[in-house]
Structure 1
Amino acid sequence: MSRILLSQPDVTEIEEQFVLDAVRSGWIAPLGPHVDAFEAEVAERVGVRHALALSSGTAALHLALVHLGARPGTVVVLPSMTFAASANAVAYTGAEPVFVDSRAGDGNVDPALLIDAVDTLRAEGREVVAAMMVDLFGRACDYAEIEPALAERGVPLLEDAAEALGATYRGRAAGSFGRAAALSFNGNKIMTTSGGGMLLSDDGDLITHARKLSTQAREPMPWYEHTEIGYNYRLSNVLAALGRGQLTRLDSMIARRREIREMYISALADLPVRFLGEEPGRAHEDDNCWLTTLVVEDPAVDVTEVIATLGDSGIEARHLWKPMHLQPVFAGTQFVGSGVVDDLFVRGLALPSGSALADDDVARVCEQLTGQLAGASG
């Protein structure tokens, strides 16, 4: 019986043709016509003026933070419930991360706590150079509360939309909020370039600076001249071609992930679980459903054991992100909140959600999960 993966890449002959075109064109080294076209196509899809194709979403966050002035002695406020890359990008600059708790309903950052944290830090005389939002598991943050509050305070908003390409919030695309946004095209994301990412912004100066930094910060001289520290962060033409192929299928891949979410909701309705983001007034048609995530509400259930048993059955599942303030590498960092994210980590579960999953695969996951949770409840 084949193993069911959490979010397997979904690649077809369409992508093969794009990659073959890149290889045959001779543009094998970094940059080339597919990179230019990929940037333009993603910018148009999201609705921003500029895009910069990079080696990872982490690189996009890092370059944006450098441009925004993150450095030793400054602070970046961000959610504790996120993948390590969000916090690592802050650490690369030498700035101090301050982590904020989430709302229990969808796992995204708590807007009130976020703004309180910004106000408290500034009252203490700290320089808050950015507030990074993370669109968790493909669901945009509550930008109606966050965006104007940060603008009023003059604090730049940086959107980590690594998990959220194709999602929307009140008609606006994820990746279009704040001064800049980062996307990820890692192998497990909603669409992939194998590895890669993109920086998006309406700020032309920000993108120009980031573009320079991403190619080792070379000055326009007839020799290699450098006045800034740069990075080797650009995406290759071959991988951009793969991304262009994936982009033509993005809507259908999102539609399939939404179908899978509905299958889980229907099949697991009688179990002691609640699905993150299934809140009154919030349609998950706005989400890209990158991962279907739930919280096990039966305190007798050990989610770690559930994951292990699923694994023994050939099914990959995992905990939600371990909060950054609980990570050993960030021990001693400041955390603002009551520990909602601690509880989400202990009781949360991410289920196989890839668009290449067959209905039989989803049914097999539901059968195994029902066997465990129904038994525990009984």
Structure 2
Amino acid sequence: MSGHEEAHVAQAFVSNFVAPLGPQLDAFEDEVSQNLGGGLHCVGLSSGSAALHLALRIAGVGPGDEVWVSSMTFAGGIFPVNYLGARPVFFDLDPKSWTVDVNNIAQQLEGAARDNRLPKAIVPTDLYGQSVDLDALEALAAQYGISLIVDSAESLGASYKRGRMAGTGGDAAILSFNGNKIITTSGGGMLVTKHKGWADEARFLATQARDPAPHYEHSTFGYNYRLSNICAAIGLGQMAVLKDRVSRRRAIFERYRAELSRPGITFMPEPDGLRSSRWLTALVIDPDELGVSREDIRLMLLKHEIESRPLWKPMHMQPLYTGTAYYGSGVDERLFAQGLCLPSGSDMSDDQQDEVIGRILQLLDSTN
């Protein structure tokens, strides 16, 4: 917590707006919009997955439609495709950015257009706090008339070229405020869009699709997806320290890189012009060159009650999606096999990071 949350929560209690909707939710949506550069419509929701579900439905995705998605992502960024009866098609990463390979998508779109089988939407993921190539993806979406919904759940506070903020891309972008994100509302998410009509429809669907009437009237089905006013109050307190959180995560990343870079350890790249939030410090281990494997390091840290994690397991490798179409050369598979996320919370102390670095160096010294 930042120390600012209790004052906003107290205001919510005084106003008696405890249920979804209220002045704190309005203020939180406006604060996020202003942080992203202004002029955008923000809709606070119960989760990032809820935001993606609504965005896909508003984009017209339905049973049998294809949705092209980054394979290396969290399951919550894919499951809404299934909710709508649509079919995910998975895409590999660009090794220069660790975000979706735009050239791969462009090549497949060319063939899909020729065969009259274009996807209904494309959902690329801002992986580990780094923006996808918005210019290229937006150009492709416009060229082929496809909805672009950017999964920016991990990248609030990051920026794209020319200072454009992550979370501003496509027809809509998805934010997450889950407890492990750079700021949190304890749970929650947001749909961000340049289309007022999309925002209006999202609010309607997120409040059980109640038609304007003195009684409960429904011409379609909706969801109980609105973010509570109390959670939004927490979010207001968190927004006050977003820039500090990004700076701290980037400092943690740079210290890891300075202390641990050597043949056999490669950190997630950051293309020119982009500024990642470094939501997590992600690296890959080449066991042949380093002499130890990713699992050697992970299990050693775990023995000392230090949590680290493999990178996301690509969704095309998950049992649920066995046999699902996948386009790529296995960059994401190799990253999963050798990738590790080190502890990198914003409140991590220098002493704690010293311990992580020291124990890894001790392991490396003992094997060389």
SS of the equivalent of 2:191 reads strand
SS of the equivalent of 1:157 reads strand
Query: How large is the Cα RMSD of the aligned pairs?
Result: 1.5
Aligned-partner Cα distance in 2 for 1:88–1:118? 23
**Residue 15 in structure 1 maps to residue 21 in structure 2:** no
Give the one of 192, 196, 200 matched to 2:192: 200
Task: Describe how 1:256-295 pairs up with structure 2 within 5 A.
Answer: 256-270=248-262, 272-278=264-270, 281=272, 286-295=275-284
Contact 1:271 1:370 in 2 (8 A): no
Task: Describe how 1:286-305 pairs up with structure 2 within 5 A.
Answer: 286-299=275-288, 300-305=291-296
- Structure-2 residue corresponding to 1:308: 299
Give the one of 49, 58, 75 matched to 1:67: 58
Give the one of 232, 236, 246 matched to 1:244: 236
Aligned-partner Cα distance in 2 for 1:75–1:107? 23
**Residue 175 in structure 1 maps to residue 167 in structure 2:** yes
How big is the shift at 1:162?
0.3
- Structure-2 residue corresponding to 1:112: 103
Q: In percent, how many aligned pairs have the same letter?
A: 44
Contact 1:101 1:110 in 2 (8 A): yes
SS of the equivalent of 1:288 reads coil
What amino acid maps onto 1:16 in structure 2?
E
Task: Describe how 1:127-206 pairs up with structure 2 within 5 A.
Answer: 127-170=118-161, 171-206=163-198
* Greater Cα offset, 186-195 or 71-80: 71-80
Aligned-partner Cα distance in 1 for 2:22–2:303? 45
Aligned-partner Cα distance in 2 for 1:373–1:146? 41
Residue-by-residue CA offset, 1:290-311 (whole Å, 9 max, x unaligned):
1110011233533233212211
Contact 1:106 1:277 in 2 (8 A): yes
Residue-by-residue CA offset, 1:219-264 (whole Å, 9 max, x unaligned):
1111111111111100000000000000011111111111111110
Aligned-partner Cα distance in 1 for 2:322–2:12? 45
Residue-by-residue CA offset, 1:102-137 (whole Å, 9 max, x unaligned):
012332111111122233333333241111111000
How big is the shift at 1:154?
1.2
SS of the equivalent of 2:124 reads strand
Task: Report the TM-score, using the length of structure 1 for normalisation.
Answer: 0.93
Task: Report the TM-score, using the length of structure 2 for normalisation.
Answer: 0.95
Structure 1: 5+ residue stretches without partners: 1-10
Quickly say closer, same or farther: Cα 1:76–1:374, change in 2 above 3 A.
farther
User: Number of aligned pairs?
Assistant: 364
What amino acid maps onto 2:265 in structure 1?
V
**Residue 333 in structure 1 maps to residue 333 in structure 2:** no
Aligned-partner Cα distance in 1 for 2:64–2:113? 13
Contact 2:284 2:294 in 1 (8 A): no
- Structure-1 residue corresponding to 2:340: 349
Contact 2:270 2:276 in 1 (8 A): no
Aligned-partner Cα distance in 2 for 1:262–1:27? 43
What amino acid maps onto 1:25 in structure 2?
S
Contact 1:122 1:128 in 2 (8 A): no
SS of the equivalent of 2:258 reads helix
Structure 2: 5+ residue stretches without partners: none
Residue-by-residue CA offset, 1:276-325 (whole Å, 9 max, x unaligned):
1245x356xx1111111001123353323321221111111001100000
Structure with bigger RCO (C-alpha 8 Å, 6+ apart)? 1
Aligned-partner Cα distance in 1 for 2:364–2:134? 35
